[in-house]
Amino acid sequence: MLTNNPFSEIATQIPPSVMQGYVVLMIVLVFGGTVLDMIHKQSAKYFFANAKKAKESATKKVGAGKKTGLAVKTVANEVLTSSEFCNSKRRLSHLMTMYGFIFFVVTTAIMIFKYTGTDAQAPALLPLLWHLGALSLCVGGYWFWFAIRVDVAAEGVKWNQFNGRGDLFILGLLSTATFALLWSFTQAIGLVGFKWLMFALFILSATVLFGSVYWSKFAHMFFKPAAAFQKKVAQADGSNENLPFDYDLNDPELQAKFPDLPTYLGENPPNMGLGIKREAPRHY
């Protein structure tokens, strides 16, 4: 099962050109939904207006080399490793979901466009990555839905409560990957009726996922890196998006401005209580 291309087996009933046309249609829906989302929210207009405003209030110039370094840092931190998540469990869940989705989608396109012919045999690595990608997406997604999302220290939303745009996106991801694995499994063991049912649910889920970009948080994966990069540029040029900078609490000038700081920064500061650590967060 793990090394068999499920799309080549179903190509005897569904022409490869139809499957390829479906993939192209999903790409068009994602592009169109993202553009409509940008027009509706005016996010692009706000982004460029905010960048222009920050540039006008900049105190120093950031060269092309520095911007390139910031772009590389953005890709390494916010995109590849999701370092913005302080919670290690949330970060791992996000990375498993993200990389699982990437491997799942990329291998799907490769197998459909190149290895659905009658004499085309896909390398064993491709279907293996397809199955592992879908499995990683499911583990990360269900972990988020049933354990992390419900924690009152995070979102505090009950597992059976639908909570808008973000939930539409994650449910679309989970249903697509889940029914893809069930389709491959039922096809491998020869359950013909269940195979077509799982395949139909897989296609329906994928259509909802890629066709609901305008109403879900799908497009945020494109906006998030751009916003993170702009924030780094604003910090580097001194504008800092008109926000106060983080100060060094050991700075003598700052301590002179706020004389009570050394009292709370000493080796034996006053007992301030447990604060938010007073009671551990609990699940619903």
pLDDT digits (tens, 9 = 90+) for 240-273: 766 666 677 777 887 788 888 777 766 676 676 6
Same structural domain, 100 and 176? yes
Look at residue 283 and tell me if it is in a domain. no
* Chain centroid to CA 47: 20
Are 153 and 284 in contact by the 8 Å Cβ rule? The answer is no
Same structural domain, 96 and 198? yes
Look at residue 155 and tell me if it is in a domain. yes
- Looking at residue 134, what is its pLDDT? 96
The answer on pLDDT for 172 being more than 80 is yes
Same structural domain, 184 and 258? no
Domain hosting 269: range is: 246-277
Q: Looking up tokens 């540029």, which residue turns up?
A: 233
Provide mean pLDDT across the span 170-181: 95
d(C-alpha 174, C-alpha 144), whole Å: 11
- Looking at residue 85, what is its pLDDT? 80
Same structural domain, 143 and 264? no
Is the model more confident about 66 or about 249?
66
Number of domains in the chain: 2
Highest mean pLDDT (candidates 69-78, 183-192, 212-221, 232-241): 183-192
pTM strictly above 0.95: no
Are 90 and 144 in contact by the 8 Å Cβ rule? The answer is yes
Same structural domain, 55 and 92? yes
Look at residue 66 and tell me if it is in a domain. yes
Same structural domain, 19 and 59? yes
Look at residue 282 and tell me if it is in a domain. no
Q: Which residues contact 268 (CB under 8 A, 6 or more apart)?
A: none
Tokens read off for 195: 């195979």
Encode pLDDT of 81-126 as tens digits.
888 787 788 889 999 999 999 999 999 999 999 988 766 788 889 9
d(C-alpha 152, C-alpha 281), whole Å: 6
Is the model more confident about 231 or about 272?
231
Same structural domain, 252 and 200? no
Same structural domain, 32 and 159? yes
d(C-alpha 116, C-alpha 6), whole Å: 9
Look at residue 215 and tell me if it is in a domain. yes
Same structural domain, 155 and 271? no
Same structural domain, 254 and 189? no
Same structural domain, 62 and 145? yes
d(C-alpha 53, C-alpha 41), whole Å: 19
The one-character DSSP state at 260 is T
Look at residue 13 and tell me if it is in a domain. yes
Look at residue 1 and tell me if it is in a domain. no
Encode pLDDT of 150-159 as tens digits.
876 667 778 8
Same structural domain, 148 and 175? yes
Encode pLDDT of 7-52 as tens digits.
988 888 899 999 999 999 999 999 998 888 878 777 767 777 777 7
Look at residue 284 and tell me if it is in a domain. no
Q: In angstroms, how far is the first alpha carbon of the chain from the final one?
A: 38
